[in-house]
Structure 1
């Protein structure tokens, strides 16, 4: 270890019996700051991650030894001889001499067996005060325990985490003989005390942890320590090998033929890289963290020497290296886990290699298939040359495994990975290989496991080179949780679930697909739908068609099917855009969408594709509300495609029926004249977009408002009529507001919801010819769900009254509420996330006439800000436009809002300069101006 560390310790930690605790603490702080700064400089110069971790552990060692010796000295001067021998032992990560700058430090004070607690309690308290207090005052996170030798073994028998922590221990100071007794006894203990159970529990813990942290290496924001392929996977490999094989050095895994030399080298190199990433993250952080989130990635990339001038490119290069390292760790740890699990029942003193285990299986019943051996539902190679003899088997082997519902033996998996270079142009163009691959995509309900394994073993990208460009590709889109390759495979898993399960929630998608001529064709579509992202996110649908067209020819896909595949690829974003940004209640929306789709089967494919695409993006991206919008657009568009010209007649018939039923119902308190006036004063689309129960509710609310008008002297003092209705099926609350129409009504309503702390999902506005406005808002609690609180509803009512009757400016109150609420953490973070989000998803305002729908539409996409919706809506009002429909969305700190606007005079918007002025004003608003107000 560094001579400088020793020199610094001699200069700063030379404690005597007269050195006060305060002076010792101050000296430790100075020493630790000096060493951390020195190590940061070495790290910045490119020092390996293991070196930084070991040097930092050594610095803490030196400090602890000085504190321990000083503590024993002060005890002996005050109390005489120690009542018992004691060892200060490092455990866990610190025990293996690895510390990141913000790592926990685990210590144990060990006493001999049978030592009475009362005998050593004063010494224990003295050591805590003299050693641990200075460390805590230095800002170190120190965990400690005090155990006798027999207590150590008792705890290790019952608690797997303790048993694991004790596997990695070092003597720091104190009794060497006591520690040696512990170390020798503990080694005998863990190798003989049911190692099979320990292995089983550790493997179960591994599986649970991996699932908890996303189930894949390829998360957009991975956890360096606990994530799949993280540091913990590497460390767990050491633990289980130590217990099961009684080895001290990971190199012995090669000696015992559990992994090969090249695998070990890659394993260690990947671990080095992750330790270096973690050190950089800790050096830059003020609190312990292992999450490589969006805000950290640009800084970490730059700190580690990724100097590409464009931020996104810098992050992409860094994250690709991260994913490759994590994938190596995950793959190697799984190899060891699988081989140790196979050897689970072997006695701890067995001295045979893995090859011995394989030989012992030769007596099991074996079935020979195309050069492979099927034994107990596991496929293995008949010889090491099985692929060299016929390279097409590199594809067929996966079809065999899928058809037989068999797993690939891990030796066969290694053989596949080693023979990837056999997948040459000849194999890619081979009719036999293509038939096998297409057959894989036809096995409805079980395609994902096969493609996923092909991808894991490096076959998918070699056989479909067009797909390889997606491997480890960071998706610079705020809503994506996975890399492009894993997102694609996730969408295929969603389709598997649709076609293989009886889940009622996906029944409608199954039914739609079964009406198509070939439901399984959607597997190929999903596999290729994002293939254009290899050339860039923008326009990837169009470039995807260019890439997919020759690929479909190579796979010998029929021309009619090729047309379907390329159509869906080109339009795979369109349905989500219509359902999430348009008024799906408006017949014009379905009519415009139907013109794009043109055929019912194309709609059915796109309908299911859109669902799988969203679900494969992030688990929280799809919800019941979005599903409702999606269903509604599908049904209304299908109606247009199937019935065509008859739609107008059906709408007229429906209007007549609604009017007749409401009059015949004799609505209590509402005259027939009022019902007729309601029909005469509102546009037809209101009745086509609104169910009868809501029309009836609005009639009652209008009647109530009219009675209030008759009894009041000033319309300006009219309180709005408000009704709250919870919709449990959609997990939201529908708020109906009937009031006198006035300028700026929408932004004042939106502001009142903001002050009440509610999230607006969408709204629609109907204005009667007599200036009565009927506004409907769909809102939820901040975390989702219906609004249950009477207090929240009262806040809304009071705020709305202040805004409408007294013209109160709500923006200061909106800001105050947001800062008081749960946004404290969100809005006080540094602007790293804002920088990343701004680079990946810059603010954008589009205003255009949708001619097919005869609507003027404003689309706002921007990092969310406090009061953003209020300011946008107010600006629209200030430019003399009214909002007739709004769809409000917030996805991972991004605002995605759509507004339909009309001139306040309800005439046509004929002056393009007015729209340009509005666009310029909105662009000023959506650009974050201060980190404190940006997500």
Structure 2
């Protein structure tokens, strides 16, 4: 809008059109040379103007709208100069006809007077009728000039009739023209176009336009990830981004014919305070977008991790205790995105009310029944409303009661009630937080058997949640600067509560049969829901969030009405909410001491059930693609093993009896003769029978039998129960076998998620690997399986220059370089009775497992099993090892040397180079 551009300070320092016009007029060349000289002058002015805008933004890094408007002003002047040069110097006409008229319009974002440094220049050439030869020459020449300046131009050239016809049939064209702004040329023609657009296109189509824009918005959100809290947001198109603000303005302008955002207040769609929030969010988002374009050097809209750190620095965010500068910047970003979401909800609800006066509501369904007891609240067309504007102020507990009633009766909230809740949330003080009635109502919402996720999200967006539970308020919009967590802490928590409610209702029975069964057996539902609410509540404070969260639970739970025993259990669950996943994904579950150590911490079957449920919803709420059948299988295995110990104590089935039972079951499956099976069974040591499940034992037996006397046989098959591909290598055992296999699998594009290494009594290796592709899926096509087997065979036969090819292979996630991760090696001789357990934490990168395995080979240790876990950019690889004689590694000097070598491998130093 012109007024926004007019507000840009000291515009002539950006570009002085009159001086530049004089310089162009002074050019004395003709033909192609004249055009080249004019383009050179325009290009110099464009570069100088961009530099001036960039310099202003660096000096005042939060003035996003000023930078966006300054960019639009600069382009305006360039376009006007190009138009004048084309019509006056290149193709002048002394006496133009009625058809030789052109109006030049800025449309889309450029029409609003907002442009990022590398935004498209969207312009429309408007003519009265069909284009004349002169009009075609002017448009073509002008476009070539703009392209020569390096501008990315989106253009259209239409007559008045064509413009009206296209706007009627195409929503995109209609939206672009809605923001059309006259730049240069024939103003009378432009005015005629504006009048016809309003009269012939807009008039009487309000409802259809609003419905279409809302559906367009919903589809965009689905495409971008339907949450405003994805940790790498799209500043322009994402939920809570600039496009949502634009949509509000488009709808307001279309329905109420307003020309500026400020006019939305007069239309009754925004209050003055909400206008201020709109402008603050818009200014911040534009600042981020402009910085993003400048850093990327192109039209980049996604705020990825590698850009977040640099923009935080540009915008002068600093580190604070428990929060880095980039986390503080992203928290403020998501607070603004939340504001955009709040305004969007209120705006659309009010619009719905206004349309309702002309007919029925168009966005929200009417309720089927009318609840009787609303404790003074009212129903207005099926939505919970306030009897008076000061109703919440009379009793602040009603701020909680309002949401509890909405949950109980399945009601939506009236926009005026939401607006009042946002305004009055500040009334929730220590007195309200201590009120037993308020706490009981909040607990009812949290543990609702209906839809606690939606109602808690409403409470959060109104600011009531964070006021009533201040510790939760501290994590609202808080990010975790890593590639593992997809959402902010508050969004992750609310999603986890929703998942728990879905499991309890039986909605995920196929995926979580054990969880669906045990959720009905737990003693206290409210313990479980409180634990989910509080498990991450202490993030961003510095220190261990599990320990700090457990202390918060001890304070909060009694306030909410929990007993001392319930409070202790919630605190314990928060303290150990990462224990089950860490044990299942990083430890060898076939090593019975792993189960015993875990059970010793858990101590009761009830806690075990609660911990499993908490672990499942915590992992699933991290983000899409994080949960898989492999994790489900490992958690189920740990749960069943620990349950047996906790239920029966140490009187579990003895190791010898377990081996005999497995061998008997395998013999029945195979149907071999008794002598053949006994010969096979005697070849394999006892740990093999303990470690492998029955289906893998059968696969291995058939593979060994088919191999005969071969010294190398490789099998690969889909293992759906684990969501992976089972790769079995049967080969003559020799040092370095594991690292070569790992290298071959990686070269084939595979990622090892688990490995078990066995040696037969006659010197053959029988190694099982669970492998996934880069997307966390099994290799399932015959061609891919064959390539996987061939890559392993080539690696073992030294047919490929393994190390050089691995070093050259790029990491699928190069953005991991944005995160500072110090490699760490932990060596533990207490975690297992038979093995030394080594855990390596490092940045995930190409051939990491290969490098670590080679480091262990150099250190002359034997690997018995390997467990690989990846958390975004961080890899955690655990190895169960012994020395070459099968004993634990205990000599201090050897442990120190082993740690040093693995650190070098984790940091990408010597082992891979040595292997080359």
Give the alignment partner of residue 553 of structure 2, picking from 548, 563, 570: 548
The match for 2:207 is 196
2:69 pairs with 1:54: yes
Measure the CA separation in 2 of the matches of 1:667 and 1:621: 40
Q: Name the SS of the counterpart of 1:733 in structure 2.
A: strand
**Aligned partners of 1:491, 1:102: CA distance in 2, in Å?**
39
Query: In 2 relative to 1, CA 79–729 (structure 1 residues): closer, same or farther, beyond 3 Å?
Result: farther
The answer on whether the counterparts of 2:757 and 2:767 sit within 8 Å (CA) in structure 1 is yes
For residue 756 of structure 2, the aligned residue among 756, 759, 764 is: 764
Are residues 366 and 900 of structure 1, via their aligned partners in 2, closer, same or farther at CA, if it must alter by over 3 Å? Answer: closer
Indicate if the aligned counterparts of 1:28 and 1:63 stay in contact, CA closer than 8 A: yes
Q: CA deviation at 1:314?
A: 1.3
User: For 2:207 and 2:832, how far apart are their aligned partners in 1?
Assistant: 69
Q: Does residue 592 in structure 1 map to residue 567 in structure 2?
A: no
Equivalent residue for 1:527, pick from 533, 550, 553:
533
CA distance in 2, matches of 1:663, 1:462: 64
In structure 1, C-alpha distance between the alignment counterparts of 2:519 and 2:550, rounded to whole Å: 22
The partner residue of 2:773 within 778, 781, 786 is 781
Within the candidate set 74, 85, 106, 2:101 is matched to: 85
Report if the CA contact (8 A) 2:716-2:789 is conserved: no
Cα distance change, pair 729–806 in 1 and its aligned pair in 2 (3 A): closer
Residue deviations 1:186-209 (CA, integer Å, cap 9, x gap) = 123344131111111112222332
Q: Tell me what 1:250 maps to.
A: 261
Aligned to 1:915: 895
1:6 is matched with 16
| Cα 1:259/1:685, change in 2 over 3 Å | same
Residues 70-118 of structure 1: CA deviation (Å, up to 9, x unaligned): 22245645999575322221100011111110111111111214x2xxx
Q: Which residue number corresponds to residue 733 of structure 1?
A: 725
- Whether 1:400 and 2:392 are equivalent positions in the alignment is no
Number of the residue aligned with 1:485: 490
Distance 1:131 1:28 in 2: 13
Counterpart contact for 1:445–1:495, Cα < 8 Å: no
Residue 431 of structure 2 is aligned to residue 426 of structure 1: yes
Matches within 5 A, 1:20-99: 20-46=34-60, 48-73=63-88, 76=91, 84-99=100-115
- Distance, in Å, in 2 between the alignment partners of 1:878 and 1:884 is 16
Q: Which sits farther off after the overlay, 373-382 or 93-102?
A: 373-382
Contact 2:389–2:420, Cα closer than 8 Å, also in 1:
yes
* 133-142 vs 896-905, which moves further: 133-142
1:744 corresponds, among 725, 731, 736, to: 736
| Alpha carbons 1:744, 1:882 under 8 Å: kept | no
Segment drifting more, 171-180 vs 133-142: 133-142
SS in 2 for 1:898: strand
Q: Is the 8 A contact 2:816 2:873 kept in 1?
A: no
915-924 or 19-28, which moves further after superposition?
19-28
Task: List gaps (5 residues or longer) in structure 1.
Answer: 349-353, 355-360, 709-717, 828-832
Please give the alpha-carbon distance, in whole angstroms, between the structure 1 residues aligned to 2:262 and 2:496.
Answer: 40
Determine helix, strand or coil for the equivalent of 1:532.
coil
Which one of 630, 634, 638 corresponds to residue 633 of structure 1?
A: 638
Partner residue of 2:517 out of 511, 514, 520: 511
8 Å CA contact retained: 2:827, 2:838: yes
Q: CA deviation at 1:460?
A: 1.3
Provide the TM-score with structure 2 as the length reference.
Answer: 0.91
Identify the match of residue 326 of structure 1 among 322, 327, 337.
Answer: 337
Match among 855, 861, 879 for residue 881 of structure 1: 861
Aligned runs of 1:785-824 on 2, under 5 Å?
785-806=777-798, 809-816=801-808, 818-819=809-810, 823=812
User: 2:325 aligns to what?
Assistant: 314
Moved more, 484-493 or 744-753: 484-493
Q: Among 826, 830, 833, which residue is 1:850 paired with? A: 830
> Structure 1's 509 and 790: CA in aligned 2 closer, same or farther, altered over 3 A?
closer
1:558 is displaced (CA, Å) by 0.9
Deviations 1:357-409 (A, max 9, x none): xxxx9xx9896622211244311111222223222222222211111111111
* Aligned match for 1:233, one of 244, 255, 260: 244
Q: Partner residue of 1:698?
A: 700
The CA distance in 1 between the partners of 2:670 and 2:225, in whole Å, is 57
Distance 1:790 1:390, change over 3 A: closer
Check 1:700–1:526 CA distance in 2 against 1; reply closer, same or farther (3 A cut): closer
TM-aligned CA distance change 1:904 to 1:865, over 3 Å: same
From 679, 694, 719, the counterpart of 2:681: 679
Residue 284 of structure 1: how far off its partner (Å): 1.0
In 2 relative to 1, CA 866–666 (structure 1 residues): closer, same or farther, beyond 3 Å? closer
**Which residue is equivalent to 2:745?**
753
Distance 2:875 2:862 in 1: 20
Q: In the alignment, is the contact (CA less than 8 A) between 1:253 and 1:259 conserved in 2?
A: yes
Distance 1:65 1:900, change over 3 A: same
Aligned to 1:895: 875
Please give the residue correspondences for 1:522-671 in structure 2 after superposition, counting only pairs within 5 Å: 522-536=528-542, 538-649=543-654, 651-660=655-664
Deviates more, 1:123-132 or 1:268-277: 123-132
What pairs with 1:74-153 in structure 2 (closer than 5 Å)?
76=91, 84-113=100-129, 115=130, 120=132, 122-123=133-134, 125-153=136-164
Q: Hey, what does 1:214 align to over in structure 2? A: 225
Q: 1:762-785, CA deviations, whole angstroms, 9 ceiling, x for partnerless residues?
A: 111111222211100111233343
When structure 1 is superposed on structure 2, of 878-887 and 207-216 the one drifting more is 207-216
Give SS of 1:108's match.
strand
Helix, strand or coil at the partner of 1:370 = coil
Which of 460, 473, 476 is the equivalent residue of 1:471?
A: 476
CA contact (8 A) 2:553 2:567 kept: no
Q: Give the match's secondary structure for 1:419.
A: helix
8 Å Cα contact 2:425-2:467 kept in structure 1: yes
Secondary structure class of the residue paired with 2:86: helix
Note if 1:294 corresponds to 2:299: no
The count of residues paired between Structure 1 and Structure 2 equals 887
SS at match of 1:749: helix
